[in-house]
Structure 1
Amino acid sequence: MMDTKLLGCVVLFPIQILFCILKATVRLLVPLKRKDLVADVVLITGGGRGIGRHLAKEFAKQGARKVILWGRTEKCLRETCEEIAMTGTECHYFVCDVGNREEVYQQAKVVREKVGDVTILVNNAAVVHGKTLMKSDDDALLKTQHINTLGQFWTMKAFLPRMLELCHGHVVCINSILSLSSIPGAIDYCTSKASAYAFMESLTLGLLDCPGVDCTTVLPFHTDTEMFQGMRVRFPHLFPPLHPEVVAQRTVDAVRTNTAFVVLPWTMHLLVILKSLLPQCALEEIHKFAGSYTCMNTFKGRT
């Protein structure tokens, strides 16, 4: 005979699921309360340019106490840091390649000593090689995996324990819709982003019982930055590239509302749903129609 407690769980389960659906619907319709950032110290990897630069500006605009920039190019970091400082927000930068484990740990120690505890970590740094697997050299493939995937493990190990001690923190991953729906010509990028998505999904579930520490994963469509320069979609008016400032605004808002996953634009949800329902041959026809199979042929972006 079924245990009474187990029976109660079985009966309550569909009610809990319905409640979650209703709660999510209300979140879409009713303005959410946004948390204050005045006590937060934000560290952004890849913060010197592209989406990272706009993220730094948006966090400063929304009242973050301090902003810290990590990146590989000092000139870009310095320029962005100066721009943020002119707004009145305290800003620091450190040259750090997140693809280098020892460098991450060393610079994390320097940040704690010179600036203080990081309470919002934004893993934004990424690279894309943009060649077929056969034409990619091993060093380039390893570089992509180190920066896009392993770099997040290392930054997390460097900063998450202190957030858990403080019961205050937020971890952000700027991922890509390609983590859920891959394209040819970017195998290294798609693979590393899929791995990063699984990492964040697991981490988000693992932190459910850790009060005060939350996660946000952002999955944007093609964004108009240097990194994907030259990428061409077949119908640019139907599928225009996202502006990096929009991605930054939506990301910071997701942090302030404790939103776990953000897909940009919302129409990309349809792609994910179709991928779950349609047979492979139908998905191939969709990709051919949209130009996904050839969009990287003209790629000449920055790595």
Structure 2
Amino acid sequence: MIWKWLGALLLFPVQMVYLVVKAAVCTVLPPKLRDLSGENVLVTGGGRGIGRHLAREFAKRGAKKIILWGRTEKCLKETTEEIRMMGTECHYFICDVGNREEVYRQAKAVREKVGDITILVNNAAVVHGKSLMDSDDDALLKSQHINTLGQFWVRQALEYGHIVCLNSVLALSAIPGAIDYCTSKASSFAFMESLTLGLLDCPGVNATTVLPFHTSTEMFQGMRIRFPNLFPPLKPETVARRTVEAVRMNQAFLLLPWTMHVLVILKSILPQAALDEIYKFSGSYTCMNTFKGRT
């Protein structure tokens, strides 16, 4: 038994070096990309914003069928027609992922009409842009139901081979004025991290979590960063393109842009007082003061 533990102890650092070198090589050499031609892709919140661009990108990359879920039929219809014009089969279902019974009902309808879902993209989210004292209970519950619990319900209702979560860098670095959103996204991140680890022994079932910086959609309209030229908002089409690339490469976690890795490192090594000054200097403490986005 001692020799067995000693062997495992000696082998572990070798494995770590191998995996780090392998990851470094993969960043230089072009990876083998997954073929999407046989995939049925479901995008929640697919009628507008990043969801609409995700539907376009999956269609552009050859997905077999695109299925859209959302709460606004007008937007869903417009996106569906656009995808069909691209030559890809597309269907939409009106569904509020914050409503458990509605999720289960529409999941059954999808299976009956379209077939099994092989790629599930959890993109639907809401933000109210208020402090804790200014938030009412219904708004707080709505954020948790849609941004976090909806992922549990969609996961239990559908079978698929790859789950994708459009999260936010705010799951790792919260800001004032969006306490409902930051809390729900942190919970969502923990859900995906636990799910990713749980799938290690499940060949063919994968997970991808995308954590983008502020994206220029109507959802966060009015949000202001102190140095917009240094930290410009991401374009939704860029987030969509990089997300589909991550799925095709079977990448577990993706931070956008790459400079967000620096933020994660700083949060790990700096004292809270220093982090407070960084947030003040960058304008993170007041960025939601001018918020007037869509809730």
The question of a shared fold, defined as TM-score above 0.5 by the shorter chain, is answered with yes
Distance across 2 between alignment mates of 1:39 and 1:5: 44
Structure 1 position 36 matched with structure 2 position 35: yes
Task: Name the amino acid aligned to 1:70.
Answer: W
Is 1:224 aligned to residue 216 of structure 2? yes
Q: How does 1:2-151 map to 2 (within 5 A)?
A: 3-151=2-150
2:4 partner letter: K
1:28 and 1:285 mapped to 2: Cα distance?
Answer: 34
Q: Secondary structure at the match of 2:133?
A: helix
* Equivalent residues in 2 for 1:202-213, closer than 5 Å: 202-213=194-205
> For 1:70-124, what per-residue CA distance to the aligned partner results, in whole angstroms no more than 9, with x for missing partners?
0000000000000000010000000000000000000000000000000000000
Question: 5 Å matches for 1:212-291?
Answer: 212-291=204-283
**Residue in structure 2 matching 1:180, options 168, 172, 183:** 172
Among all aligned residue pairs of Structure 1 and Structure 2, give the percentage whose two residues are the same amino acid: 75
1:62 alignment partner AA? R
> Aligned equivalents of 1:23 and 1:116: distance in 2?
37
Q: Distance in 2 between matches of 1:50 and 1:225?
A: 6
SS at match of 1:219: strand
Aligned-partner Cα distance in 2 for 1:22–1:299: 44
User: Displacement of 1:20 after TM fit?
Assistant: 1.1
Structure 2: any 5+ residue segments left out of the alignment? none
Instruction: Please report how far the alpha carbon of residue 223 of structure 1 lies from its aligned counterpart in structure 2 after TM superposition.
Output: 0.1
Give the match's secondary structure for 1:135: coil
Q: Which structure 1 segments of 5+ residues have no match?
A: 164-168
- The offset of 1:23, in angstroms, is 1.2
1:152-196 CA deviation, whole Å, 9 max, x = no partner? 00011111xx33xxxxx1100000000000000000000000000
State the AA in 2 paired with 1:204.
T
Q: What is the TM-score when the length of structure 1 is the normalising length?
A: 0.97
| Divergent runs of 4+, >4 A | none
Residue 153 of structure 1 corresponds to 152
Aligned-residue offset at 1:211: 0.6
Question: Which one of the candidate residues 193, 202, 217 is aligned to 2:185?
Answer: 193
Cα-Cα RMSD: 0.6
Q: How many residue pairs are counted as aligned between the two chains?
A: 295
Residue 164 of structure 2 aligns to a residue whose secondary structure is strand
* Distance of 1:184 and 1:30 partners within structure 2: 41
1:46 and 1:201 map into 2 onto residues whose CA distance is 22
How far apart in 2 are the matches of 1:231 and 1:46?
21
In the alignment, the residues of structure 2 paired with residue 198 and residue 24 of structure 1 have an alpha-carbon distance, to the nearest angstrom, of 23
Q: TM-score, normalised by structure 2?
A: 0.99
